[in-house]
Structure 1
Amino acid sequence: MLERILKWMAVSLVAAAAAHADMTIEVVGVGANQYPIAIAPFQSEQGQQQPVTPIVGDDLARSGLFKVIGAGDLAPVPYAPEQLNHAALSGRGAQTALIGRVEPAADGSFSVKFWLVDLASRQVLLAHEKLAKPAQMRRVAHQIADMVYEKITGEPGAFSSRIAYVLKQGKRYQLQVADADGYGAQTVVASNEPIMSPKWSRDGGRLAYVSFEDKKPIVYAQELSSGRRWRVAAFKGSNSAPAWSPDGSTLAVTLTREGGSQLFLVPVQGGTPRRLTQTGEINTEPFFTPDGSSILFTSDRGGTPQVYRMPVSGGQAERLTFSGSYNASPKISPDGKTLTFITQSGGFRVAVMDLASRQVQVLTDTSADDSPSFSPNGRMILYETEQGGRGVLHAVSRDGRVKQRLKVQAGDVRQPAWGPMVR
């Protein structure tokens, strides 16, 4: 409780997690009805440094919505629609089959051709070709999984996205970025002082975060491609809780320069801040609505931490949460229809609110949750919690049915932020 109070007072130091170890994801809850899909190893992928089909199968299985049925033991293994043994795969319970082949090109790249076939009707649902260099094969696999996911569910996939999080091992803090499946973790910035509150720009090319490297909280922005970083907010007092405007031109931040914790808008390249909130001692954790017209935030103006919404142009704030004495860390889904936040209900748990009906559902059974973040398709919510005294990352579906644990080898991992799709 003390740690959460310190965070609420905007002076907590983030515990975070491990060096360069990739994460592994364990599915601990699945959808009510899993869709059965057979996946055969793509022709010639066995010789690749990164075979495609294991990644596709892991992506789909990890979603909790698919039951992946192996087809590598068929004789012969099908590599094209006309080679499919529909009866054999249907007998295993599959409804569709994913097959394909990897063909080398003269320039050292590869052509990945694949088909998704409905086994009952024998209709080809997807037929596509992707070109990739050897180092891009993992991304191609995620893209294939996204295409299959969308074709079957009618919703976009999110396997081609990335996540950011803060890691701590010993006294070393690292802001890291990895693929959505935890693979390929890379350190964006490292420090012996705390790093916290990473937030993605909508285009996925920049991160904003808070660093204590100068012995006080300062908001930085950083380009991922070049590594260029700069101070956005380094005013007197505390500078914290950055949030990107949808167009990437502005950051909403929490500053104490004028007393209390108040929300301000600052040009992303730095400049004169414009104050938004005028009442309450603590106003923090801003988050823009997808259309950029409003900001959600946490405020104590009603006596306890609650979630509010106000126009970016300024004006009256509307209170959104009323149940319980603690509701904080608001994020809104990409479609603007669902709010996720942390509520105090037998512990601190991830909850969602349907903004049309204002109905609230608590999703998690953990009790020390924080920092919820929607996937780019709005299907999953990534968040931090505690296990064995360590910070760990979990994910839960918007309906609460699918649950995942993201495991790292050592250290604390906290402050997750799910980024946009990688194009």
Structure 2
Amino acid sequence: MSSILRTSILTALATVSLSWGAGAATTADEVLFVSNRDGNAQIYLMKADGSGQRPLTHTPEENTEPAWSPDGTRIAFTSYRDGNADIYVMDADGTSQKRLTSDKFSDNAPTWTPDGRIIFRSIRDRWTNFYVMDTDGTNLKQLTGTKVDKGIPMLSPDGRWIAFVVHGETGSSEIHVMPAAGGEAKNLTGPLSKNRKMAPSWSPDSKRLMYTEAKDLALNIRIIDPDGGNPGTLTDNVYTNAFPAWSPDGKRIVFVSSREGTRTEMARGDIYVMNVDGSGTTNLTRNPDEDNYPAWSADGSTIYFVSLRNGTAQIYSVPAQGGEQLRLTKNKGNDVMIRPKAPQASKLRPDTARDTVIPNQSPVH
């Protein structure tokens, strides 16, 4: 695999996670995605079968990183329309778009808490740190203040914890977890080593974390408890195994693998599923072109993915048990960031996530 292709995969892994919808309890038939078919990246909405595609944003500047609210009625997103990356919110039909942050430094990567607040990442203090606010932009609270480079905040389905990647100065990276209310974080995969860890993904019950580890030319999927216990291996080969995402019922995992290609095709992947213990691995796409970025439908019956088989990044779907692959988007642009509508079913009281703490843990350094 060329160094350019490998760098592309590692960069994507560090910035994209595809556990959207984990923990969903209701079936929905709408999918958000980002497309540059008309120029700059805009947020689009479509039905599960690809019909009814329409843009929800229409500005000359980019709009990206859409995130469904827990009840599916609103969308948080990142927009550059005011000259800088800021957090915005809009109704699910694209109306009532409102700017929530207005700092001179970039704010991005919004995610919703079960009680309807928004966590996001910001470099307003010159380091990437996490903040939380109400959906009108008020009651802003800083959750982290450490001087390290942090990846995207991945909130657990129960709203209690945030998993994230900490990047070291030597290019290393490790998975950390912290209380969603703020406080000390724990390094789950350290100490820092040359093997980069990335793309944490929560199980629907919030009891396990998957992540991807880069070692030599291979990428493999690991699993661990959020307190650092019970580490395990789900894939162990010399190929690319990446972008793992839990099924809504927590019994299966979708991921991308190059294991059926040649050693020179390690950047070309197919969509696979396996049981949560790593058994029963099945190739769902088996296409000579790149298939990537899988995401589960809310009911677990369908897997959406991005494919380059038509020259540009387009969205496809395939039954989770295998079957006919359907092309959902057809344009000359690139369609990415698949976000199926899958509101999380939180069992917490509205104030529970704000009060959670982890005792006796070391801060992130």
TM over 0.5: yes
Instruction: Name the residue aligned to 1:199.
Output: 67
- Matched ranges for 1:165-314 at <5 A: 165-225=33-93, 227-248=95-116, 250-301=117-168, 304-314=172-182
Residues 226, 173 of structure 1: CA spacing in aligned structure 2 closer, same or farther, 3 A cutoff?
closer
Higher strand share: 1
3-state secondary structure, aligned to 2:88:
strand
Residues 413, 313 of structure 1: CA spacing in aligned structure 2 closer, same or farther, 3 A cutoff?
same
Question: Greater relative contact order: 1 or 2 (C-alpha under 8 angstroms, separation 6 or more)?
Answer: 2
Deviates most, 344-353 or 294-303: 344-353
Match of 1:408 among 313, 325, 329: 329
* CA distance in structure 2 between the aligned counterparts of 1:187 and 1:217, rounded to whole angstroms: 19
* CA distance in structure 2 between the aligned counterparts of 1:166 and 1:194, rounded to whole angstroms: 10
Instruction: Name the residue aligned to 1:335.
Output: 205
* CA distance in structure 2 between the aligned counterparts of 1:246 and 1:181, rounded to whole angstroms: 28
Residue ranges of structure 2 left out of the alignment (5+ in a row): 17-22, 235-240, 242-254, 259-266, 269-290, 345-365
TM-score, structure 1 normalization:
0.54
Q: Contact 1:175–1:189 at 8 Å: present in 2 too?
A: yes
- Matched ranges for 1:10-409 at <5 A: 160-225=28-93, 227-248=95-116, 250-301=117-168, 304-321=172-189, 325-337=195-207, 339-341=209-211, 344=214, 351=221, 353=223, 355=225, 357-361=230-234, 362=241, 363-365=255-257, 367=267, 373-377=295-299, 382=304, 384=306, 386-387=308-309, 390-393=312-315, 406-409=327-330
* CA distance in structure 2 between the aligned counterparts of 1:331 and 1:337, rounded to whole angstroms: 11
Deviates most, 375-384 or 203-212: 375-384
* CA distance in structure 2 between the aligned counterparts of 1:393 and 1:208, rounded to whole angstroms: 22
3-state secondary structure, aligned to 1:420:
coil
Q: Contact 1:340–1:353 at 8 Å: present in 2 too?
A: yes
Q: Cα offset for 1:184?
A: 2.2
3-state secondary structure, aligned to 2:56:
strand
Instruction: Name the residue aligned to 1:112.
Output: none
Q: Cα offset for 1:232?
A: 1.9
Q: Cα offset for 1:374?
A: 4.6
3-state secondary structure, aligned to 1:190:
coil
- Which structure is larger by alpha-carbon Rg, 1 or 2? 1
Q: Cα offset for 1:326?
A: 3.3
3-state secondary structure, aligned to 1:364:
strand
Deviates most, 307-316 or 295-304: 295-304
Residue ranges of structure 1 left out of the alignment (5+ in a row): 13-154
AA in 2 matched with 1:332: W
Residues 378, 306 of structure 1: CA spacing in aligned structure 2 closer, same or farther, 3 A cutoff?
farther
| CA displacement 1:350-395 (0-9 Å, x = unmatched) | 9573648433434312537876655434676655565576334466
* CA distance in structure 2 between the aligned counterparts of 1:205 and 1:394, rounded to whole angstroms: 25
Higher helix share: 1
* CA distance in structure 2 between the aligned counterparts of 1:277 and 1:221, rounded to whole angstroms: 23
Q: Cα offset for 1:217?
A: 0.8
TM-score, structure 2 normalization:
0.62
Residues 396, 309 of structure 1: CA spacing in aligned structure 2 closer, same or farther, 3 A cutoff?
farther
* CA distance in structure 2 between the aligned counterparts of 1:332 and 1:217, rounded to whole angstroms: 27
Identity %: 22
Q: Cα offset for 1:157?
A: 9.0
AA in 1 matched with 2:153: P
What count of residue pairs does the alignment treat as equivalent? Answer: 277
Q: Cα offset for 1:242?
A: 0.5
Q: CA RMSD in A?
A: 4.1
Q: Cα offset for 1:344?
A: 4.1
Residues 407, 377 of structure 1: CA spacing in aligned structure 2 closer, same or farther, 3 A cutoff?
closer
Q: Contact 1:172–1:190 at 8 Å: present in 2 too?
A: no
